[in-house]
C-alpha cells in the first residue's frame, strides 16, 4: 500500500485509487527489483478463489481491505483491514511444566518413538482448574511450522485437554501438512 504520492494520492484516497497509482509507479520504474505484490479480488467469487489459492500454496492467510478504505499510517489493526490467518491443530503432550512462567513445553513422538519438542505454550486461563502435569495430552492450535520434518509450532495455544488420548498417540506425522511458504506471490 502507498501512503502518499504527490499529485496522485493522499491519506484520504480510497484503496482502489492508491492501488492503481502504485501499479502505475511500478510500471514506470521498470526494475526487476521492484514489483507489485499481492492479489486483488473485487467480488465474492474472486475472493474465495484467492483464499483457496493462498491455502493451496501453503500461505499464512490473507488480508482483506475495504475498497473505499482510507489509509491509516502506523495502525495495523482495525479500520478497513480484516485479517484471516489459517490455523492448524495437533494433539501433543506436556513434556515439562514451568510454574514460574505459567507455561508448558509440548512434545510428540516420531516414528521410532523418539521424543520431539514442538513448542511452548502458556497455561494462563487454560484448563479446568487442575494444574497441568507431565504427560497430560492437550489439543494445541497454532499458525504453522516452518519445517514439518522438524516442527516448532508458531504461536501455539492450548485449546483443551484430551483425556481420550495418551502421550504415545501424539505423533510427529500430524505436522506433515502444517508447513507454510513465506514467499509472496507476485501479481502479474
Let me know: does 127 contact 177? Beta carbons within 8 Å: no
**What is the H or E stretch that residue 162 is in?**
none
- pTM for the model: 0.63
Q: List the pLDDT tens digit at each of the 188 positions of the chain.
A: 444 555 555 666 676 676 666 666 666 555 554 444 555 666 778 777 877 877 777 666 777 766 666 655 555 555 666 776 778 899 999 999 999 999 999 999 999 999 999 999 999 988 777 899 999 999 999 988 888 889 999 999 999 999 999 999 999 999 988 877 655 444 44
Report residue 57 as a C-alpha cell.
500454496
How confident is the model at residue 55, as a pLDDT? 74
Distance CA 158, CA 132 (A): 11
Distance CA 58, CA 184 (A): 11
How confident is the model at residue 117, as a pLDDT? 97
Amino acid at each position: 500500500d502507498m501512503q502518499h504520492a504527490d499529485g496522485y494520492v493522499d491519506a484520504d484516497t480510497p484503496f482502489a485509487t492508491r492501488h492503481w497509482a502504485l501499479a502505475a509507479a511500478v510500471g514506470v520504474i521498470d526494475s526487476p527489483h521492484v514489483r507489485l505484490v499481492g492479489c486483488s479480488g473485487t467480488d465474492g467469487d474472486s475472493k474465495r478463489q484467492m483464499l483457496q489459492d493462498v491455502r493451496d500454496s501453503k500461505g499464512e492467510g490473507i488480508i482483506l481491505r475495504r475498497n473505499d478504505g482510507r489509509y491509516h499510517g502506523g495502525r495495523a489493526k482495525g479500520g478497513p483491514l480484516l485479517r484471516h490467518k489459517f490455523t492448524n491443530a495437533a494433539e501433543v503432550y506436556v513434556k515439562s511444566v514451568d510454574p514460574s512462567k505459567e507455561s508448558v513445553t509440548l512434545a510428540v513422538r516420531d516414528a521410532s518413538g523418539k521424543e520431539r519438542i514442538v513448542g511452548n505454550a502458556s497455561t494462563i486461563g487454560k484448563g479446568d482448574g487442575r494444574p497441568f502435569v507431565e504427560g497430560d495430552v492437550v489439543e494445541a492450535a497454532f499458525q504453522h511450522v516452518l519445517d514439518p520434518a522438524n516442527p516448532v509450532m508458531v504461536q501455539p495455544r492450548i485449546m483443551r485437554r484430551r483425556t481420550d488420548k495418551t502421550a504415545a498417540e501424539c505423533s510427529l506425522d500430524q505436522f506433515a501438512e502444517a508447513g507454510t511458504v513465506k514467499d509472496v506471490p507476485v501479481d502479474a
